Amino acid sequence: SAHEEEGDSFDADKHDKVFIEAVVRYASENTAKIKIFIGDPYYTQIVRSAKMSMTQMLGNAGGLIGLCLGFSVISLVEIIYYVVSTFTSLRGNCNCKRND
């Protein structure tokens, strides 16, 4: 065609290079660098052990039993109290004569 012979041809590679250079120039002129410094970082190290002492095992077993059954030492004391009070009230209501 007539336009290509006169030097008016479209060079895609040239336009791509110009566009990339423009983007790089814009990015370098409009970029901010932020530096964040954290002072005195600290952490807590937690060590887990698979071994369990007899005291720990009994404590865990008692805790699980208490959790699952809803049982506690106070409940045991209450049960003993009600059993003793029931027996004493039944014994006190008994009209049995004693032979002295």
- Residue 10: the pLDDT is 67
pLDDT in tens, 31-79: 888 888 777 777 778 888 778 888 888 888 888 887 877 767 778 889 9
In angstroms, the CA 74 to CA 80 distance is: 10
CA distances from 20 to 6, 30, 66 (A): 27, 15, 72
Q: Residue 1's pLDDT band (boundaries 50, 70, 90)?
A: very low
Task: Tell me the per-residue pLDDT of 18-27, one tens digit each, with 9 for 90 and over.
Answer: 889 999 999 8
**Pair 26, 32: CB distance under 8 Å:** no
Read off the pTM: 0.29
